Amino acid sequence: MIHVREIDHLVLRVVDLDRMIHFYCRVLGCTIERREDSIGLVQLRAGRSLLDLVPVSGRLGRAGGLPPAKEGRNLDHFCFRVEPFDEAIIRQQLQEHDIEAGPTATRNGAEGEGPSIYISDPEGNMVELKGPPIGRLIE
């Protein structure tokens, strides 16, 4: 069985990056953890979790379609930290429920780089299942 430990991160598609950074950092006390302007990504530390801000004009943001509004979505995906992360067992369980899973890839999360798998829920919301950071695969 898949065991969700916590939400690892959320990804918001944003129109006004500076305004959003101001709100989440100055108003709510988050801090900038990582910034990759080349792909359009700002990761904010929110306690043990991350909040990723992806400008709709950037490479990552354009992949989500129209800007946040009635016709477009602003939540790109959310990520569950899964423990233990046993890829074979996870894929078997997903297959038993006829859920198509994307390839396993190394992606960054709240605890660092580690394995993750993307799936979609029944209404098309993208969900990332994230394992531990590399070097801590067995806990």
- Output the six-digit token pair for 101: 């899973």
What stretches of 37-92 adopt beta strand conformation (E)?
41-46, 49-55, 75-82
- pLDDT above 70 coverage of the chain, percent: 94
pTM: 0.70
- Output the six-digit token pair for 39: 């792909």
Cα separation, 30 vs 26, whole angstroms = 7
pLDDT of 97 strictly over 90:
no
Helix (H, G, I), strand (E, B) or coil at 47: coil
Q: Would you tell me how many other CB atoms lie within 10 Å of the CB of residue 52?
A: 22
In tens, the pLDDT along 39-54 reads: 999 999 988 899 999 9
Query: What's the confidence (pLDDT) of residue 137?
Result: 54
b/e string for 58-68 if b means 16 or more Cβ within 10 A?
bebbeebeebb
